[in-house]
Structure 1
Amino acid sequence: MKRDMDLIRSLVLEIENGRDWFETTSDETAEILGIEGNGVSKAEADRLEYHLTLLESAGFVEFTHTGEGWIAERLSWKGHDFADSVRDEEIWRRTKAGASAAKGFTVDLLVALAKGFVKKQIEDRTGITLDL
């Protein structure tokens, strides 16, 4: 499965805004278990679970796992830094375009690129050159 950075960004921002529950039981699994489904296909549930696992392994979010889903306990410092660097839609658009032009990226490079755009925006708006 490919990593979807738009989904990663969306999940981090949702968690920052208070979302703490992520259902990962598909309708197919619910039917087998004899419980009510929630309109999530197996592919959607697998995709969500994969990306939640990525967030956890990257150290962005701490989760508690249940049989039905994931509970977001908190964003880490790294998760907050990621959210702060990609929150603005224009910065996110420019960051993705830069990563695409480079034909590859790591999460650390993506965050650094976004922070570079934020730094430039601060310098342009304040006239203060930041030495970071």
Structure 2
Amino acid sequence: MKRNTEFAVSLLLLLEQVEDAEGLARHQLKELVGQSKHASSLASEELWDALDYHLRLLESAGFVTITPSPEGMAHDDVELTWDGHDYLDVNRPSESFNLNVKWPS
């Protein structure tokens, strides 16, 4: 699989908007990504694969932490790290970059 920087940045931006101190469960992140333009050409399984791959890359770069859940991988908590915030501070996309997702109320 190839790295997609725009996809990775969109994950960081979604995590930045989370108000819960524990981050988002992986399945919640998948649902939000599923609403974005990145999911339009991907089947559900392909979306899981792309999400997992990019989360591993972001974790290895130190931009996110993933806390395993006893309920299974889909419930792992994903949150932005200090380095992830710093990356976005320096590399924030232009105003035209829009995620177009609907946050649950």
How far does residue 23 in structure 1 lie from its aligned partner after superposition?
Answer: 1.7
Equivalent of residue 89 in structure 1, options 85, 90, 94: 94
Letter paired with 2:66: F
Higher RCO (C-alpha under 8 Å, 6+ residues apart): 2
Q: Count the aligned residue pairs.
A: 76
More helix by share: 1
Instruction: Kindly report which structure 2 residues correspond to 1:99-110, keeping only aligned pairs within 5 A, or say none.
Output: none
Rg larger in structure? 1
Aligned equivalent of 2:64 = 61
Which of 39, 62, 81 is matched with 1:76 structurally? 81
Query: Which segments of 5 or more consecutive residues in structure 1 lack a partner in the other structure?
Result: 25-39, 93-132
Q: Which residue of 27, 33, 58 corresponds with 1:23?
A: 27
Question: Cα offset for 1:82?
Answer: 0.8
Q: TM-score by structure 2 length?
A: 0.61
Deviation at 1:77, TM superposition (A): 2.1
In structure 2, distance between residues paired with 1:77 and 1:68: 23
Unaligned runs of 5+ in 2: 29-42, 98-105
In 1, the alpha carbon distance for the partners of 2:59 and 2:8 equals: 11
Partner of 1:31: none
